[in-house]
Structure 1
Amino acid sequence: MDKARLWLMIWGTAWLLAWAGSVLAFWVVEPTGDGFVRGLNRVTTFLGWQGIAAMLSIPVYRVSRHWPARSTPRRLGLVPIACASLLLAAILTTIL
């Protein structure tokens, strides 16, 4: 269980840094371009980091499955997948 705990902390920290980095990058990056596409670089930077965070959410979920059902680490392993799913649902809802 100690090995699983270590990997959960490593993958969870990597996911959290990527997720927080996407929000920070959206605020820090200066908008470029003219007219309709002005600021699109901020959106693509945000979505790029969110894509990385979504990819990192899969190992977090897989490692959290080592704990028994209804335990706190197992439930916390669903948070990254839920965040990625909610963002994807929001994007699809906006498009449709």
Structure 2
Amino acid sequence: MTPRIWVFAAAGVWLAFFIASFVAFNAMSPTGDDFARGMKRAGTLLTWQAGAMSAAMAAFVLALRRSVPRTIGTALAGFAPMVVMVLELLVVVALVVWVATRDPADRIERFYYPDGSPTQRLR
């Protein structure tokens, strides 16, 4: 097989894993109690996403080889999966940082008193 075929094969494996992660996440029912409810679903999603990241890295490395012809198709197949995975990782990191830097008291008060503060409810 030519190196160009390997790039497209790795991109195809990435696409299959990427789609399978969301299909598996939606197909599983959220089981467990309290905090652990739905953790199995999240673990399944992250496992499939780890496989997709590995395939994206393989496609990226294969596309960088000198023996692969530089065409639009091989560039897209080699670099697009890695770009999508890096953007997805950046969104997750930004979300975690955003949630971690918020005031916990504000979240609790909004959850328990959605109409206003407890002093306003007593009037």
**Percent identity between the two aligned chains:** 26
Structural RMSD (CA): 1.6
1:90 equivalent in structure 2 = 91
SS across alignment from 2:31: coil
Runs of at least 5 residues in structure 2 that lack an aligned partner in the other structure: 98-123
Residue pairs, 1:1-96, within 5 angstroms: 3-65=2-64, 66-68=68-70, 71-96=72-97
Instruction: Say if 2:6 and 2:62, in contact at 8 Å, map to a contact too.
Output: yes
CA distance in 1, matches of 2:72, 2:17: 25
Asked if structure 2 preserves the Cα contact closer than 8 Å seen for 1:67 and 1:74, the reply is no
Distance in 2, matches of 1:83 and 1:10, equals: 17
Runs (4 or more) in structure 1 with deviation over 6 Å come to none
Deviations 1:71-94 (A, max 9, x none): 332133111111111121111111
8 Å CA contact 2:31, 2:38 repeated in 1: yes
| SS of residue paired to 1:77 | helix
Tell me the TM-score normalised to structure 1 length: 0.85
Shift of 1:28: 0.5
Q: TM-score, normalised by structure 2?
A: 0.68
Q: Per-residue deviation at 1:5? A: 2.2
Higher Rg of the two aligned structures: 2
Contact 2:59 2:77 in 1 (8 A): no
Q: Counterparts of 2:73 and 2:2 in 1: how far apart (Å)?
A: 17
In 1, Cα distance between equivalents of 2:77 and 2:6: 14
